[in-house]
Structure 1
Amino acid sequence: MSDDSSNREDFKEIPETMPVIPLIGTMIYPFMVVPYFVQGENNEKAVDAAMENDHYIFAASVRNSSSLNKTPAKEDLFEVGAVASIIRLMRVPSGGIKILAQGLFRAKASSLTDHPSGFITANVELIEESPVEPSPELEALIRIVREQVRRAVNLGKPLPEEFVLMINKMGEPGKLADLISSAFDLSPEESQSALEEFDPQKRLAFVSKAITRELEILEIQNKIKTNVQSEMEDNQKKYVLKEQLKAIQKELGQDDPRKSEIDELRRAISEAKMFDTAEKQSLKELERLERMHPDAAEANVIRTYIDWMLALPWNKSTKDRIDLDRARKILDTDHYGLEKVKDRIIEALAVRKLKPDARSPIICFVGPPGVGKTSLGQSIARAIGRSFVRFSVGGVRDEAEIRGHRRTYVGALPGRIVNGLKTAGSKNPVFMIDEIDKIGSDYRGDPSSALLEVLDPEQNNSFADHYLDVPFDLSQVMFITTANILDTIPGPLRDRMEVIHIHGYTEDEKLNIAVRYLIPRQCEASGLDNKKVRFLKHAVQSIIGGYTREAGVRNLEREIGKICRKIATRVAKGSRIKSFTVAASDVVKYLGPPRAEISSRRKHDQIGVVNGLAWTPSGGETLTIEAIVMDGKGKLTLTGQLGDIMKESAQAALSYARSRANDFGFAPDTVDKKDIHIHVPAGAIPKDGPSAGVAMFTALLSAFTRNPVRRDVAMTGEISLRGAVLPIGGLKQKLLAARREGIKTILVPLSNKNDISDMDSRDIGSLEIKYLEFVDDILPYVFRDGGAKTTNQRKIRLPS
């Protein structure tokens, strides 16, 4: 390396090899202190390597950095760069390192090498600047550059005063050129050319030429600014002329259009019969609007606010037409079945008829998708002659969706509650809030907390929307909410609602719904004459059993719609057939092979395979539980994406089976000599809950005793370590799922006997219900021989 002692006397000896930091979007010149954000694992390693040694780096710019879409490699770097020293660094938690580097010398990389750690190292040669002799030409060039800097400042270039003073005092052309290059917006190519120019005078001339372009841009900016200022003055002139025109119109006795508008708004506010606070607030805003220039931005905000206040039904309501017989007829016409739900609705209407000022209960319909929760709300509104409004809060995470935005925000609007009342046009609509179990919360607030005020009869008579900023009476609104499950609804919100469960439909109910509602509706939607399209009973049953597996009827209607569209296609093509009959044999032709195979119907009884029952937000499901034992050391393996509760149920079942091994017909040490594997298909679906305890115990007992389990039996129930069968939830949905899958016998906890008593006999159908007090009670029902293979079926009862 060349030696330049005058430049290096304040620094340690510069090493020949040092880490390389690729520069993108900036340039480090000698004697300049520059901040830079280092990104990329390898570049961060280069900084770490520099800090472990002498803090020196070789800063080289990247070629074509704007089009580079990968980590820079050796061939992407310019050979000429700067040796710099890292003064300070700070690691950013999200990744990357902020460094403060001081340029020391121009340098050239004689070679670039990939370090084993991943970063690039360079062998550098320091570059000596050519000596400069004072001359009139040099002095003239320095003066020109100084004048260009002053001119840039005058044109609005934001340069510190200290920078200008430094330019005026600096006489070395090389440092002067570097200082100006770092302060002006040179292109990457111009910056690199300035760095690669080793003659100070030529470099200063190059920089002078480069900043001439910057001066031209500044002049254009000032010209544009002048034009804008001129336009603003023209607007001011127009304003003065408008005011003069108003004065002339006043003298001539002509009406002021703006005054007429203000008077019209004032009259509308007085006729709206708002609450006192709302009327005062509206008049206050109107006075502000009257004093304000009509072209002001705030004027539009105030006018929008007044329009919203006038659009709300402050004193408009519909008169209830409560005829209980008519209401029941409407409910029966719109919905098949759901007798208990209809009875509760009629009870609520009867109370309102006897006491009109009674507070409406907040009803929450809970049930699987497609069972008619939303349409029930529409039927209620039709039955009592009220308007119907609906909005969904599924996925809503912003409290402002409920309460509205404050008017300080640009584009602020009222919340969904106020907007719904405006749409309804009355202050007592039936207001349905859908998917309340799927409401969320984040940093913008908790919408469920905002709904507490809306759904609380003690508070909602003075609901305050943030946009209106005045109370609005919601006490006359009949709120109805819907949900698929109760578990995810916050407790305080759930306490304010009366829950009405809507369980899934039986196959007979689905058949009637399809014939009465779905087929006529889909025929009409497809442009077909309902009288000329006939679905046979067995065809509908075939669609229900082979193409849908659901608690509701949404997919059933979708499949019927497919058939109707295919028939419509034949009619549109000019088919000569006047009427169409869809038989069971035609369903496969229209819909293809059955997709919803009955998974629980096995051809044979199998060892270790049990039918369990599960409950999901979509309704009940059958659950196959498999268990096998093999030679091993007592290891228990659980697969099928089981949750913690389900894993604990399996462990409890195994522990109870071990404790009663002699009673159930296998040696106690069998468990220690065997590995046990319990699997619950389908493996891709997460599962959890305690109600599979009885089924897991049955699968283990079957695997240990080699006794096959009956394929037409399903069971549900949680077990304790003492063998007691504990109650479970979602029983009706589970029974409906068992009926769909062709199960004949259901084993349920004795504690759930009252739930069975509350069910309609049509829901149970031909199912045989057996009650379990202790897990021992399964033996007569799950094995064909009544459990004869177990040697000693002695029951251990809990002490009373």
Structure 2
Amino acid sequence: MARKKAANGNQANKKDRILLVDSEGTVITVADLPNRIPIFPVYQRPIFPGILTMVGADSMVSRWIRDQIREEKIIGLVMAKPNESDEEGEQRQIESASQLYRVGTVAYVLHWVELPDESCQFMLSTLKRFKVRRFHPDDQHYSAEVDYIEEAPPEMTEQLRASAAAIVSTLKELIPHNPTFSQEMHHLLSQVNLDEPIKLTDLAASMTNAKSKALQKILETQDIQERMEQTLLLLREEYDLSLLKEKISQKIDERLSKHQREFFLREQLREIKHELGLEQDRKQMELDRFRERFSELTLTEEAKERVIQELGRYEFMDDSSPESQIVHQYLDWIASLPWGVYSKDKLGISQAERVLNHDHYGLDDVKKRILEFIAVSKLRGGMRGGILCLVGPPGVGKTSLGKSIASALGREFYRFSVGGMSDENELKGHRRTYIGAMPGRLIQALRTTKTANPVIMLDELDKAGRSFRGDPYSVLLEVLDPEQNKDFLDHYLDLRFDLSNVLFVATANSLDTIPPVLIDRMEILRLSGYVIEEKLKIAQRHLIPKILPDHGLTEENLELPKETLKQLTVEYAREVGVRNLEKKLRSITRRVAMRVAKGDKKKVVILREQLHDFLGQPEYPEDAYKRLELPGVVRGLAWTPTGGSTLPIESIMLNGNSGEFKLTGQLGDVMKESSSIAHSYVQSLLREVPGKMQFFKKNTIHLHVPEGATPKDGPSAGIAMATSLLSLAIQQAVPASIAMTGELTLSGQVLPIGGVREKVVGAKLAGINTLIFPEANRSQFEELPAHLRKNLTIHFVKHFREVALLTLDYKLSC
């Protein structure tokens, strides 16, 4: 570089414009600027000409820069293009020249400082703009051939002068609102002349907090008027943003000042009232109130010690302390529980029987057990807690029966659902170390009922879940054990509470998902469902008298004859419960209510032929199997969680010599084994029958259980499958009025089955009046209510030859 020493009086060429004179007297002119310069990428914002700035570089970049400026201390500052995924100003490796803008600022390195980690801070004086003609890679760095952008002082027009004045005015407005740059702005305003718009614009733009893309656009703009307009726009945005920040801060300060002022005034008012004797100390009032509440309770020794301890802690806590609120809530929970508070039991058996019969029709077994429970309690002189579990299909009245039990005993009733509960802390509470901790549902029930001997219903017990938070069934093992629940320990209270006087009533649709050890702790009462006659009585005595007032109607507006109700039950609500029956009755009542609301006061009598006008087409049309009498078609009986039902079984013969036995109908493993037993047993029966010996060997037999989308399993369809195969082999149909159930052995023995009541109910709902049951189930059948056994012809069998004789009039020799 050609350097001219000012001290020696050397004069520069007239064409050279002086750009810089450093502290050593070195003069830098336009002619001294090289055409190829090292490129230093900047990331946060572009650097404008005419300012002093400090830039930092890591050890690798700083070594390369120092090597490049040994002779000529000139570098080029070029803005790196930001990626959309990068944050503003984030540094990254420059992998190609396309990541750099083409317009930058040339700078002279005044000096640098090397730091202990070998990185450097370079002090630069920026000189003028340049445009890159070509980048040259140098290992991981770049140099570039550049053209310097000449910017001659423009002619000062009125428009330029006005723009310059607007920039200066905006800067003056910014000074009070932007303390960060106030000193720099004061210096800028004292150094810049309005007749130097280029310098003014660059310095003003460099003082803003605008985004890098907007500043790069100003750097690249060559028209000075357009550059000034863009700078002025950024300054105005900066000014508006400063005003908004100041406004938000002012609002926050005002809000805090208001709260502080109110706090001081309240404290002063409290002190004044305290000095005048007009008001007691609030903390002392709370303590006195707690002591009064605790004195009225029969606390255990453990609870008394804990209360004394917590009251002592609370007395010396500051009211504003979060711990004070936690202790206050804890003491309030202890004081709200019914320690030693018991409701008086009603042990009148006649009164309890009237209440149960008034609320529910049927369910004689369950009512009998409840009355026995009351009778025992009466003889003992008091009632202890108990654990009952009502098991039955949906809609048979399990939940409402729990309310009736509480009403009959004169006890408070509390119900909560265990269905879907997967956190044991919901039952036992959360420990007080957690924010927002509360006692479990059992302690909450006692606080709500205000008595230590309520009836607590655990609804949907079979639908509780398990998760990493614990197993609710494990908690219930303690709760439902009379030997353990007298010392029930809630995590939140951390005090033992006696639950042995609570009567627990659980409900479930099935016992399959409940752990056996939990079932062992409960007394199981099964509600099997209702037959048509029972559903008619329930509709007449309970549902219709409840539904009519709910819809603003009386018996003068609507009448449903018995035949209509029976048709409604058979074709629209055939399930074993009454919930769907109630929905259909409500649907009819709404239609009638709409007529009455329109002014039609005439009484509506709905005949059975008119039901489809109110409810549409029947949901349970006549069973296709009810009258089907073909060889191989038999009706079995099945138990399901929703009640009993018939189980059609079909078998057909396919010509062929494979002797294959095919099964379809989504059968479970046990049911597949039953079909294999039936197949083998019937083959053994026919081995000595003339013409039938080769029936199963020469033909493919296909046995199917309809409703293939429904999984089926269990051994009780054994005799039905064997009857189907025998019927097919001898080509004789089984009467459609017969249904059967029983497990079959390879020797032809008929073993007992379960779900006798449910299967009888299912058969009656399907209109079947002749049943075949195992002899071992005779006693269970005879225990059924008389109205269930009415109009039924039932045969009890010990061996399959009796089944063959009853169904096919076929006498077997073995």
> In the TM superposition, what whole-angstrom CA distance separates every residue of 1:348-389 from its partner, at most 9, and x where no partner exists?
101111113453331111112222222222222222211111
492-501 or 372-381, which moves further after superposition?
372-381
In structure 2, C-alpha distance between the alignment counterparts of 1:243 and 1:571, rounded to whole Å: 65
Matched with 2:616 is: 592
Matched with 1:607 is: 631
In structure 2, C-alpha distance between the alignment counterparts of 1:187 and 1:725, rounded to whole Å: 92
In structure 2, C-alpha distance between the alignment counterparts of 1:756 and 1:162, rounded to whole Å: 97
Matched with 1:182 is: none
For 1:362, the aligned partner's letter is: I
Q: Is the 8 A contact 2:424 2:469 kept in 1?
A: yes
In structure 2, C-alpha distance between the alignment counterparts of 1:569 and 1:31, rounded to whole Å: 87
Is 1:568 the counterpart of 2:593? The answer is yes
360-369 or 661-670, which moves further after superposition?
661-670
> Could you say if the C-alpha distance between residues 187 and 628 of structure 1 is closer, same or farther in structure 2, counting changes exceeding 3 Å?
farther
SS at 1:621 equivalent: strand
Is 1:787 the counterpart of 2:810? The answer is yes
SS at 2:470 equivalent: coil
> In the TM superposition, what whole-angstrom CA distance separates every residue of 1:625-674 from its partner, at most 9, and x where no partner exists?
22222134233332222222222222222222333332566644443433
In structure 1, C-alpha distance between the alignment counterparts of 2:267 and 2:390, rounded to whole Å: 61
In structure 2, C-alpha distance between the alignment counterparts of 1:65 and 1:535, rounded to whole Å: 75
Matched with 2:753 is: 728
In structure 1, C-alpha distance between the alignment counterparts of 2:804 and 2:705, rounded to whole Å: 22
> In the TM superposition, what whole-angstrom CA distance separates every residue of 1:377-433 from its partner, at most 9, and x where no partner exists?
222222221111111211211111211111222222111111111121211112221
In structure 2, C-alpha distance between the alignment counterparts of 1:129 and 1:517, rounded to whole Å: 85
Is 1:429 the counterpart of 2:463? The answer is no
In structure 1, C-alpha distance between the alignment counterparts of 2:584 and 2:251, rounded to whole Å: 66
Counterparts of 1:66-145 in structure 2 under 5 Å?
A: 105-106=95-96, 136=108
Q: CA deviation at 1:64?
A: 8.6
For 1:396, the aligned partner's letter is: M
Matched with 1:407 is: 432
Matched with 1:41 is: none
> In the TM superposition, what whole-angstrom CA distance separates every residue of 1:125-179 from its partner, at most 9, and x where no partner exists?
xx9999x99962x567x88xx9xxxxxxxxxxxxxx998x6465999xx9799xx
Counterparts of 1:454-465 in structure 2 under 5 Å?
A: 454-465=479-490
Counterparts of 1:440-479 in structure 2 under 5 Å?
A: 440-479=465-504
Q: Is the 8 A contact 1:30 1:104 kept in 2?
A: no
SS at 1:625 equivalent: strand
SS at 1:671 equivalent: helix
In structure 1, C-alpha distance between the alignment counterparts of 2:684 and 2:629, rounded to whole Å: 27
> Could you say if the C-alpha distance between residues 451 and 226 of structure 1 is closer, same or farther in structure 2, counting changes exceeding 3 Å?
farther
For 1:623, the aligned partner's letter is: L
In structure 2, C-alpha distance between the alignment counterparts of 1:228 and 1:539, rounded to whole Å: 72
Q: Is the 8 A contact 2:719 2:742 kept in 1?
A: yes
In structure 2, C-alpha distance between the alignment counterparts of 1:749 and 1:665, rounded to whole Å: 30
Q: Is the 8 A contact 2:385 2:453 kept in 1?
A: no
> Could you say if the C-alpha distance between residues 166 and 636 of structure 1 is closer, same or farther in structure 2, counting changes exceeding 3 Å?
farther
Q: Is the 8 A contact 1:600 1:741 kept in 2?
A: no
> Could you say if the C-alpha distance between residues 246 and 568 of structure 1 is closer, same or farther in structure 2, counting changes exceeding 3 Å?
closer
Structure 1 stretches of 5 or more lacking a match? Answer: 1-28, 33-59, 67-101, 109-126, 147-160, 178-185, 198-212, 796-800
Q: Is the 8 A contact 2:742 2:774 kept in 1?
A: yes
> Could you say if the C-alpha distance between residues 664 and 423 of structure 1 is closer, same or farther in structure 2, counting changes exceeding 3 Å?
farther
Aligned pair partner of 1:338 in 350, 356, 363? 363
Matched with 1:776 is: 801
> Could you say if the C-alpha distance between residues 245 and 487 of structure 1 is closer, same or farther in structure 2, counting changes exceeding 3 Å?
same
Q: Is the 8 A contact 2:383 2:501 kept in 1?
A: no
Matched with 1:631 is: 655
Aligned pair partner of 1:382 in 368, 383, 407? 407
Matched with 2:505 is: 480
Q: Is the 8 A contact 2:775 2:798 kept in 1?
A: yes
Is 1:555 the counterpart of 2:580? The answer is yes
SS at 1:660 equivalent: helix
In structure 2, C-alpha distance between the alignment counterparts of 1:572 and 1:389, rounded to whole Å: 38
489-498 or 254-263, which moves further after superposition?
254-263
For 1:591, the aligned partner's letter is: L
Counterparts of 1:494-505 in structure 2 under 5 Å?
A: 494-505=519-530
Q: CA deviation at 1:528?
A: 0.8
Counterparts of 1:147-166 in structure 2 under 5 Å?
A: 166=119
> Could you say if the C-alpha distance between residues 659 and 388 of structure 1 is closer, same or farther in structure 2, counting changes exceeding 3 Å?
same
Q: Is the 8 A contact 1:605 1:708 kept in 2?
A: yes
704-713 or 510-519, which moves further after superposition?
704-713
Q: CA deviation at 1:735?
A: 0.9
For 1:726, the aligned partner's letter is: L
Q: Is the 8 A contact 1:665 1:705 kept in 2?
A: no
In structure 1, C-alpha distance between the alignment counterparts of 2:380 and 2:441, rounded to whole Å: 30
For 2:813, the aligned partner's letter is: R
Q: Is the 8 A contact 1:399 1:450 kept in 2?
A: yes
Q: CA deviation at 1:241?
A: 8.5
Is 1:397 the counterpart of 2:416? The answer is no
Matched with 1:307 is: 332
In structure 1, C-alpha distance between the alignment counterparts of 2:457 and 2:338, rounded to whole Å: 18
Q: CA deviation at 1:244?
A: 7.6
Q: Is the 8 A contact 2:420 2:463 kept in 1?
A: yes
Q: CA deviation at 1:572?
A: 0.8
Matched with 1:581 is: 605
> Could you say if the C-alpha distance between residues 227 and 298 of structure 1 is closer, same or farther in structure 2, counting changes exceeding 3 Å?
farther
Matched with 2:189 is: none
Counterparts of 1:26-105 in structure 2 under 5 Å?
A: 105=95
Is 1:622 the counterpart of 2:646? The answer is yes
When the two chains are superposed, the root-mean-square deviation of aligned CA atoms in Å is: 4.5
528-537 or 433-442, which moves further after superposition?
528-537
Matched with 2:305 is: 280
Structure 2 stretches of 5 or more lacking a match? Answer: 1-57, 62-80, 125-134, 143-208, 221-236
Matched with 2:720 is: 695
In structure 1, C-alpha distance between the alignment counterparts of 2:120 and 2:427, rounded to whole Å: 60
> In the TM superposition, what whole-angstrom CA distance separates every residue of 1:518-572 from its partner, at most 9, and x where no partner exists?
1111111111113543221101111111111211211112111111111111111
SS at 1:294 equivalent: coil
Q: Is the 8 A contact 2:557 2:601 kept in 1?
A: no
In structure 1, C-alpha distance between the alignment counterparts of 2:349 and 2:399, rounded to whole Å: 21
> In the TM superposition, what whole-angstrom CA distance separates every residue of 1:205-238 from its partner, at most 9, and x where no partner exists?
xxxxxxxx9xxx99x9999999999999998998
> Could you say if the C-alpha distance between residues 311 and 167 of structure 1 is closer, same or farther in structure 2, counting changes exceeding 3 Å?
farther
In structure 2, C-alpha distance between the alignment counterparts of 1:508 and 1:359, rounded to whole Å: 37
Is 1:268 the counterpart of 2:293? The answer is yes
> Could you say if the C-alpha distance between residues 223 and 292 of structure 1 is closer, same or farther in structure 2, counting changes exceeding 3 Å?
farther
Matched with 1:3 is: none
In structure 1, C-alpha distance between the alignment counterparts of 2:268 and 2:801, rounded to whole Å: 100
Is 1:533 the counterpart of 2:562? The answer is no
In structure 2, C-alpha distance between the alignment counterparts of 1:584 and 1:162, rounded to whole Å: 100
SS at 1:354 equivalent: helix
Q: Is the 8 A contact 1:608 1:626 kept in 2?
A: yes
For 1:794, the aligned partner's letter is: S
> Could you say if the C-alpha distance between residues 233 and 583 of structure 1 is closer, same or farther in structure 2, counting changes exceeding 3 Å?
closer
671-680 or 689-698, which moves further after superposition?
671-680
Q: Is the 8 A contact 1:31 1:104 kept in 2?
A: no
